Structure formats: structure tokens, C-alpha cells
Amino acid sequence: MSELYERPIRLVQNRIGRNYLGGRETDRFRGLPQEQCVDDDRPESWVGSTTRVNRLELGEDPNKGMAYVALPGGGQMLLKELIDQAPEQFLGAVHVCRCGADTGVLVKLLDAQHQLGLQCHPDREDAMKYWNSPYGKEESWYIIGKRTDADEPPYVLLGFKEGASIEEYSKYYFAGDVPSMEKMCHKIPVEVGQMFHVAAGCPHAIGGGCFVIEVQEPSDITLGARRKHFDDPAQEAAFDERTMRCYHYEGASYEENLAKYLVQPEVLQQTPQGRELKLIGRPYTSYFSATRLEVTGRLQPTQTGTFTIAIVLSGSGKLETRAESVQVKQGDEIFLPAGAKDVAWQADGEGLCVICSHPPEIF
């Protein structure tokens, strides 16, 4: 019998509780009955995650955020524990040299009922300085759906407008004037199929009605626009200073901002059987990448020497490897180990579309 690291591994759906509402569109995407598709306090699904949430409530699972895999004989196991059994076979030797026995990437399905709070995330230098974390939280958003019943057409807030300064932003921050802070940022209407790069330090907020695949560095460090108050004045001052420092005050016109953060896809291969697009990667970021497979027949993706976290976006078909082939359909989540050989995606009649997320330094 083949080893697990030679075969596609199904991921267990991993809805995560957060401090905002959503998740209805995720349920619809996964094909749940209409009456079960509701918004609740679990708007995010962490796909193939080896990352824990940053803050746990009393009594919460210490592994909250981490993904489980479905074992072939039944039962479940943490993906991280599985990887630890044979890191090079699951992740690839070159990747293990770079990142150790960790995926080095975090993938999410995120569905927001209402706008998230304005925020930013630290770059790697600040993450190490203030949180002792080797990872910042650079990220990307791939728009896969829009609610038709949102309060307004779905949008994102992303990037400072021209003339932004730490003096103006901190004035609103200390006054608790979040609307004025948001007005300092560009409001961008979104369309399905767009990919946005969200650089570390860039102010941003996902608007209500957006359903996205988020590919990012594997951390959960967020600095919101709303102040936090502490009993210790010194602790509060340190928190405020850290927050103001982590924003990058680089304003731009609307057109310049869009050119900077809206990523155009790049064709990696095109055959009569389908095509492979790079959605994000270098030169925007080397910390992660994502590709889109549009399969009409049988398509072999670019070999990377490492693993892939795959989400079937639409259609159905088969994922083939030398060791095993598995049926796949919309909503399925697959961890494809580095040890899987002769990988190919085979579409059924209506075609197959898959979003593949990759670790650092691949595309």
C-alpha cells in the first residue's frame, strides 16, 4: 500500500470563530442545504492550516485554527502531526530547509456579512521585534463571490490616499474617529475573479458581501484601528506606539493604488486540455503564491517540488497521482503532498476549476 505522502489527502472543513459574522456563502459554496446556510460567528475556514489562532478564550481548544485530515481508514488527525512524521516527504526537502516542518503559508475561505474593521498587519521585521514571530502577515484576496443582498455593492478598503501621514492618522486614532481613518483609505468596488495583494503595513478592510480565498503568511497578528485600553498606562502607550509604527504611510492616487495592489493574472501554460494561471507570486511577493487551474480535459500542473493546498472552485472530476486517484467536486479541500507523483487533474463534462496555494519561493 502506498504511503500517505504519495496520495491526495482530504482536509476536514475547519470553520473558525472570529469577532464578526459571516459564513453563509461558504456553506452555499460547499453545497449545504439552503436552510443550513446561515451567518454565524465562524466566518472563516482555515484550509490546510498548521497555524494556531493568536488569542484563545478560556477553555478553547489549544489547537484552534489548525486543520485536521481525514485518514483513509476512518478517523482524523492534525495535519501538523501528520507532517511531523515525514516532513521532507510531505513538504519537500527544499521547503523544509527554508521553513522547517511547517507549511509556511495560511489559506482561508472568508465570507463577511458586514465590513470588517480597518486594520493592518506587521511586516517581518516588526513581527519579530514586537511579537517574536518569524512571520509577518502579508496577504492576498482572491474574490470568488459577492452577496446580492449586501447593504451596498461589495468593496474593499485598501491603501492610503494621497497625502496620508502618521500625524493625521494618529490624530484620528487617539480621538477614536474610525470613520475619518477609513476616509483616508481608497474604497475599491470588487468583481469576481480579481486578486488583490495586501502588503504588510497597508491599511485595509474587507467590505460586507465579499467572499474570498485569502492566501497569506502563517500568522494571526492584527492591529485594528480601534484603540485598546489597559490598566497599566505604560502598557497602553507601548501598544499605541507599536500600532502606529506598523502602518506604512505611503499614500497614492486611486489609479496608482490600483496598479500597485490589483494583480493581473499570468498564463503559465495553455493546452487544448486547459490552462494554468498564476494569480499572485513574484514580483508582488515571495512569501506565498496562488495558481488557478482551468481544466477541460486532463491537465498536469507545473511541478514545484513541494506541496499544494487545493480548493475546488467549480465543477467536478478526478485528481490523479501515481499512487491513487480521487473524485473531487466544488468545495473540496485537498492537501497534495510533495511526495505525490505524476499529478494530473481530469475534468468531467462541465469542466473543473481549482485554486492552488503554494508556500514561499515557488512562483
Q: 3-state SS of the chain?
A: CCCHHHCCEEECCCEECCCCCECHHHHHHCCCCHHHCCCECCCEEEECCCCCCCCCCCCCCCCCCCCEEECCCCCEEEHHHHHHHCHHHHHCHHHHHHHCCCCCCEEEEEECCCCCCCEECCCHHHHHHHHCCCCCCCEEEEEEEECCCCCCCCEEEEEEECCCCHHHHHHHHHHCCHHHHHHCEEEEECCCCCEEEECCCCCEEECCCEEEEEEECCCCCCEECCCCCCCCHHHHHHHHHHHHHHCCCCCECHHHHHHHHEECCEEEEEECCEEEEEEECCCCCCCCEEEEEEECCEECCCCCCCCEEEEEEEEEEEEECCCCEEEEECCCEEEECCCCCCCEEEEEEEEEEEEEEECCCCC
Averaged pLDDT of the chain: 96
The pTM score is: 0.97
- What percent of the chain has a predicted confidence (pLDDT) above 70? 99
Q: What is the pLDDT of residue 52?
A: 94
Q: 119-175, pLDDT tens digit by residue?
A: 999 999 999 999 999 999 999 999 999 999 999 999 999 999 999 999 999 999 999
Q: What is the mean pLDDT of residues 198-215?
A: 98
At residue 2, the pLDDT reads 66
**CB neighbours of residue 68 within 10 Å:** 19
pLDDT in tens, 318-359: 999 999 999 999 999 999 999 999 999 999 988 999 999 999
Handedness of CA 154, 159, 162, 168 (dihedral sign): positive
The CATH fold assigned to 14-83+105-263 is Jelly Rolls (2.60.120)
Q: Which of 151, 148, 154, 158 is nearest to 191 (CA)?
A: 154
pLDDT tens, residue by residue, 274-292: 999 999 999 999 999 999 9
Q: What is the mean pLDDT of residues 212-217?
A: 99
For residue 1, pLDDT beyond 60: no
Say yes or no to pLDDT of 203 above 60: yes
CB 229 within 8 A of CB 295: no
Rounded average pLDDT over 83-100: 97
- The label of the residue with cell 489609479 reads 255
**Mean pLDDT calculated for residue range 190-208:** 98
CB atoms near residue 34 (< 10 Å): 8
pLDDT at 200: 97
**How is the chain split into domains, by residue range?**
14-83+105-263
pLDDT digits (tens, 9 = 90+) for 299-316: 999 999 999 999 999 999
